Chains A and B, each alone.
Chain A
């Protein structure tokens, strides 16, 4: 169906694609896997005309074609669904789908006809999308199907999906895979970009593995396994399971949350009477579909209120009521926080690594020196930054680089190093491995377990169910701003947890 031959693409001084050749057979589901920055998205964006390759050919149905704009790609039957949806929320499904491909005359828009076509397509692939609904009223899973329809409506025969499952619940992933299989039956070709090995094994026919801008492996899915794929991706053997001892019983209660409620600026309840405890030496995990109060919970516990939340209830730390303390005071007492969005919260991207390593502690020793602790102690700051960089294997190991220059995994390691340096009694950690490559994930998990074993209380939020179940000693499930259940992650099944997450609505 489509073939990339010897594609080369350079961004400034980074070779994003180096002689990449990928052949996608028609009527198959083809997975492209690799770590962040391996060049998989770049290759597919070249196929879709988002970028133009510096060298190499694109063949569609065996013929060399010039694809320099998405328009060219669409004309050849190539469609793409991006990781971040490109939908206009207040508009209807039909309006979104025809946007840019309007039928009818110059001034008139025949939405009725378009809606019929969309309904027919939706029925054909059992997508169950109502063309007249507004996009904002749809769930994330449904919105994704609108994106699929958008491509199908433009007569796409090949669909490129960039990290499609990142935003879905386990149940939604299952449904989504069923849709992909139906598409394959109807003769469509699917390319799925992902880094989740379990999904590759579940859905694909062929796998292309990329590393450092090159293709390092082409395998049939049924002839491979997770360990082999991970080895190809990282270039060495990777421990896919988290190895940890059981948590010590009977640690002191470090964090006690009672009846915590948070109301947003819009008057909506974000947290509704949440109560739980976290003890020293245990990791308490929180599972849930994103947007069910986890963000608000962590931010409220960290003392960040600028999002316009008002909180009620009681937060006790080490036996003291800290409900009224601000972020700095809480940090000073030993509450570290690894935020879910490292670009928005965790880093000053234009500041160098040394400056980033003191965020949160810039006002006190050892970051400052001199009378009244006014002046920054440059040498001390750099020394500390170098320690963090070495201890947490941040690469490139240059404290003068801006944080922006680092990959996601290395940025995350810098943040984790900084927070660990606080020697916290409580660590609030949210999405610790989001957008982080497999090698770094292994490292980060190890560090979290080590911190727990050193007696720190850890509260962990992750959208990756595998991650929370692997790391947590106890698992709380959140839905609609409430804690709706607690399970033992060692014995609970994915189905059981998924059911609690969605309230059995599926």
Chain B
């Protein structure tokens, strides 16, 4: 019952977005039903549709969880974008320095490594590097807020610029292969590649980049839930977010919770690097993130900052991204920008939830105690 009530408004928002988006399609001069058939059909076809939908959803699950954890502590982490970039670069660095011999863009074997570690050591090391570097980058605005009271929104935005410029610089001047026309690092060793799910799932070809990171994302949802609602640390974080003065009264050091929440948030954002570098491109590719950190805010908002909601809304957004590509290619007049319009309308409706509550309350459709 409680779950139903929580799901009600996000569902209404999504439905309303589709209706309104349909009107836009119709105004443009295309058939909304045909467009949606294309959008949804292409996102749920087996194996490509589902495989890619889940693949696109993976980074959004991580960033959505990242934003949700910070939000539960009363913080708005706009910096997931920067956190995932530094983390992705760091995990690539581990793969380059400890991954052994690789084949470069010209087809010749090269060894950039200091030493070659076996996969059983290297994979966990690369994963933990992504998490810890993301956490460290996320902790910076947390410390600034706890120590000096400077606002995390400003600081996370600024750190995004620094992060993006920094990794771009390292890629360009220190880790790019001379003569490579693309701004990317040299490849990581094969020992650190995460297996694609196609290797285990019958019928799913390995060319689809859906990889082990997706399972990590599901695991992260469960762990975040346990962390926030089943541990004393989560209690302290949520208490700080719900009412910092009461938390202080309860002997909780709110400054510590802010730093912890931002570090956990950054670590989750950093896990995007696992999917991207270890599971998909096998190198750091500059500017790879299609705004995952920012879309994560929308994902968390739609998912009501709850891991289950984040999972569902990330899947929705993944579906939209996948379907949008097909709409772009196969419909007459509608471009893939429709997807962004749909996303924007969903966000607007979710943000207008208060308005919905008001009008539904008036008609007695929603009984919610005010007292």
Residues of A within 8 A of B (CB): 11-14, 37, 302, 304, 306, 326-329, 331, 337, 339, 344-351, 355, 358-360, 362-363, 367-368, 373-376, 378, 405, 407
Tell me if B251 and A328 are in contact (CB < 8 A).
Answer: yes
Kindly report which residue of chain B lies nearest to residue A299, judged by CB atoms. B249
A345 to B245, CA, bound (A): 5
| Residues in A whose Cβ lies below 8 Å from that of B253 | 326
In the bound assembly, the distance between CA atoms of A337 and B252 in angstroms comes to 15
CB contacts (< 8 Å) of A378 on chain B: these are: 230
Nearest-neighbor residue (CB-CB) of B367 within chain A: A13
Chain B, interface size category, equals: 20 to 34
Across the interface, do A337 and B249 meet the contact criterion of CB distance under 8 Å? Answer: yes
Q: Which of B232, B235, B251, B367 contacts A326 (CB 8 A)?
A: B251
Q: A302-B249, A304-B248 given as contacts; is B243 within 8 A of A348 (CB)?
A: yes
CB distance from A246 to the nearest CB of B (A): 33
- In the bound complex, residues from chain A placing their C-beta under 8 Å from that of B235 are 355, 358, 362, 376
Bound together, the chains give a CA A346 to CA B246 distance in angstroms of 6
* Residue numbers in A under 8 Å from B250 (CB-CB): 327, 359-360, 362
B236-265 vs A, CB cutoff 8 Å, 1 = contact: the mask equals: 101100110111111111100000000000
Give the complex CA separation of A384 and B250 in angstroms: 17
Chain B positions within 8 Å of A306 at CB level:
245, 248, 254
**A376–B238 alpha-carbon span in the complex (Å):** 13
A348's contact among B239, B367, B370, by CB below 8 Å, is which?
B239
Q: How far apart are the CA atoms of A378 and B231 in the complex, in Å?
A: 10
Q: Taking the complex as formed, is B36 at the interface, i.e. its CB lies under 8 A from any CB of chain A?
A: no
- Name the one of A14, A329, A348, A375 contacting B371, with C-beta atoms under 8 angstroms: A14
Given contacts A13-B369, A331-B251, contact A348 B231 (CB under 8 A): no
User: What are the residues of chain B within 8 A of A359 when measuring CB–CB?
Assistant: 239, 246, 249-250
Ranked nearest first, the 8 interchain pairs of A and B with the lowest CB-CB distance are A328-B251, A359-B250, A360-B250, A327-B251, A345-B249, A12-B370, A348-B242, A362-B235
Interchain residue pairs with CB less than 8 A apart (7): A14-B370, A328-B251, A329-B251, A348-B243, A350-B242, A362-B232, A374-B231
Residues of A within 8 A of B239 (CB): 348, 351, 359, 362
- Most chain A CB within 10 A, of B230, B251, B254, is at B251
B251 and A375: CB pair below 8 A? no
Who on chain B is nearest to A328 by CB? B251
> Which secondary structure characterizes the binding site on chain B?
helix
Cα of A12 to Cα of B367 in the assembled complex, Å: 6
CB-based nearest B residue for A350: B242
A436→B329 CA distance, assembly (Å): 66
Taking CB as reference atom, which chain A residue is nearest B251?
Answer: A328
Quote the shortest CB–CB distance from A270 to chain B (angstroms). 17
Which single residue of chain A is at the shortest CB-CB distance from B243? A348
- CB A8 to nearest CB in B, in angstroms, measures 15
- Add 17 more A-B contacts to A306-B254, A376-B232 (CB < 8 A): A12-B361, A326-B253, A328-B251, A329-B251, A337-B249, A347-B243, A348-B246, A350-B242, A351-B242, A358-B235, A360-B249, A363-B251, A374-B231, A375-B230, A375-B231, A376-B231, A378-B230
* B369 surroundings in chain A (CB, below 8 A): 12-14, 405
CA A328 – CA B251 in complex, angstroms? Answer: 4
Decide if B233 is an interface residue (CB 8 Å cutoff): yes
A14 proximity list for chain B (CB < 8 A)? 369-371
Task: Flag whether B5 is at the interface (Cβ < 8 A).
Answer: no
Query: Of residues B230, B231, B249, which shows the largest number of chain A Cβ atoms within 10 Å of its Cβ?
Result: B249
Across the interface, A11 reaches (CB within 8 A) one of B229, B238, B251, B371, namely B371
Is there an interface contact between A373 and B242, defined as CB atoms closer than 8 Å? no
Query: Are A327 and B370 in touch, CB under 8 angstroms?
Result: no
B: residues with CB less than 8 A from A are 229-233, 235-236, 238-239, 242-243, 245-254, 361, 367-371
Contacts of A327 in B (CB 8 A): 248-251
B230-A376 in contact (CB<8A): yes
* Residues in B neighbouring A350, C-beta threshold 8 A: 242
Q: Are B246 and A37 in contact (CB under 8 A)?
A: no
Residues of B within 8 A of A11 (CB): 370-371
- Return the chain B residue nearest A330 by Cβ: B251
Complex Cα spacing A405 to B367, Å = 13
Report the separation of the CA atoms of residues A351 and B254 in the bound assembly, to the nearest whole angstrom: 17
Known contacts A326-B251, A327-B249, A351-B242; A373/B371 CB under 8 A: no
Q: How far is the CA of A359 from the CA of B231 in the complex (A)?
A: 14
A305 to chain B: closest residue by CB: B248
CA distance A304 to B233 in the complex (A): 21
Neighbouring B residues of A302 by C-beta, 8 Å: 249
Most buried by A among B235, B236, B245, B250: B250
Q: Name the distance in Å between B148's Cβ and chain A's nearest Cβ.
A: 14
Residues of B within 8 A of A349 (CB): 242-243
A345: B residues at CB distance < 8 A: 245-246, 249
Task: Give the docked Cα–Cα distance between A327 and B245 (Å).
Answer: 12
Q: Which residues of A are found within 8 Å of B248, using beta-carbon distances?
A: 304, 306, 327
In the bound assembly, the distance between CA atoms of A374 and B236 in angstroms comes to: 12
**Distance in angstroms between the alpha carbons of A328 and B239 in the assembled complex:** 15
Closest to B242 in A: A348
- Most chain B CB within 10 A, of A11, A328, A345, A348, is at A348
Closest to B229 in A: A376
For A418, the closest partner residue in chain B by CB is B250
Q: A328 to B233, alpha carbons, bound, how many Å?
A: 15
Whether B249 contacts A339 by the Cβ 8 Å rule is yes
Q: How far is the CA of A56 from the CA of B250 in the complex (A)?
A: 47
With both beta carbons as reference points, the residue of chain B lying nearest to A407 in the complex is identified as B371
Chain A, Cβ-Cβ closest to B361: A12
Given contacts A349-B243, A405-B371, contact A368 B249 (CB under 8 A): no
Docked complex Cα distance between A331 and B250 (Å)? 9
Distance between Cα atoms of A480 and B117 in the complex (Å): 71
Q: How far is the CB of B250 from chain A (nearest CB, A)?
A: 4
Chain A contacts for B249, CB-based, 8 A: 302, 304, 327, 337, 339, 345-346, 359-360
Q: Are B232 and A344 in contact (CB under 8 A)?
A: no
Give the distance in Å from the alpha carbon of A302 to the alpha carbon of B235 in the complex. Answer: 21
Write the chain B residue with the least CB distance to A358: B235
B232 contacts which of A13, A304, A348, A373 (Cβ < 8 Å)? A373
With a CB–CB cut-off of 8 A, which chain A residues contact B368? 12
Minimum distance in angstroms from A104 CB to a CB of chain B = 37
Q: List, in ascending order, chain B residues with CB within 8 A of A348's CB.
A: 239, 242-243, 246-247
CA distance A360 to B236 in the complex (A): 10
Rounded to whole Å, the gap between the CB of B5 and the closest CB of chain A is: 13
A328 contact set on B, CB distance < 8 A: 251-252
Whether A363 contacts B367 by the Cβ 8 Å rule is no
Chain B neighbourhood of A363, CB < 8 A:
232, 236, 251
Among B243, B246, B254, residue most surrounded by chain A Cβ atoms (within 10 Å):
B246
A12, A337, A344, A374: the one contacting B233 at CB < 8 Å is A374
Please give me the residue from chain B that is nearest to A351 by CB atom.
Answer: B242
Q: Which residues of A contact B243 (CB under 8 A)?
A: 344, 347-349
Q: Is the CB of A347 within 8 A of B246?
A: yes
Which residue of B230, B236, B361, B370 is within 8 Å of A362 (Cβ)? B236
Name the residue on B nearest A339 (C-beta).
Answer: B249
> With the chains together, A378 CA to B254 CA distance in Å?
23
- Bound CA span A90–B230, Å: 48
- A348 to B245 CA separation, bound complex (whole angstroms): 10
| B246 surroundings in chain A (CB, below 8 A) | 344-348, 359
CA distance A12 to B245 in the complex (A): 30
B336 vs chain A, min Cβ distance (A): 39
Q: Which residue of A lies closest to B249 (CB)?
A: A345
Please report the C-alpha to C-alpha distance between residue A355 and residue B235 in the assembled complex, in whole angstroms.
9
